[in-house]
Structure 1
Amino acid sequence: MFIAKVVGNVVATRKNDTLVGYKLMIIQPINANGEEYKDQSVAADYVGAGIGELVLVGGGSSVRVENERKSSVIDLAIIGIIDELIV
């Protein structure tokens, strides 16, 4: 799990059926001081995050634990919206 800032969204009119119903958001990983690291990625939004928000991002098979997601092609997912970050 890591912290990221939502910096944009992706519109895909044609996509794998397992992605239907999910917003795809562009995320920029940040550290606890708000500094960017790594490259931007795309994550499926499970929680209704918006551009500019800080979020928690999970990756790998752990984001597909629910039955309807087990066969999805999702590798990264926004799993929480951060209200406050105290360092």
Structure 2
Amino acid sequence: ATFSRAKQKNREKLEALESAGKIRVLLSSNVKQIDPESVTIALEDGMETIQNDEVIVSAGGILPTKFLQDIGINVVTKWGDE
């Protein structure tokens, strides 16, 4: 699995952050449960529970643009013409 729709520059930034140990990318995964201090994720080889401080859900809502920019992801918002 890959970030097939991500721009090359953003993929490279994610790879650099992962290589530096700043983030962990979990491709081919599904969130199964969110608890106050942990998230349970189904991975290809089983379930894993990860401790967390915050969970950001963006499902048709407003993109957390400032947060993404703060961690080094370039965000460009484009609006279509009516």
Q: Normalising by the residue count of structure 2, what TM-score does the alignment of the two structures yield?
A: 0.30
Higher helix proportion:
2
- The structure with the largest strand share of the pair is 1
From the CA coordinates, give the structure whose radius of gyration is larger: 2
TM-score normalised per structure 1: 0.29
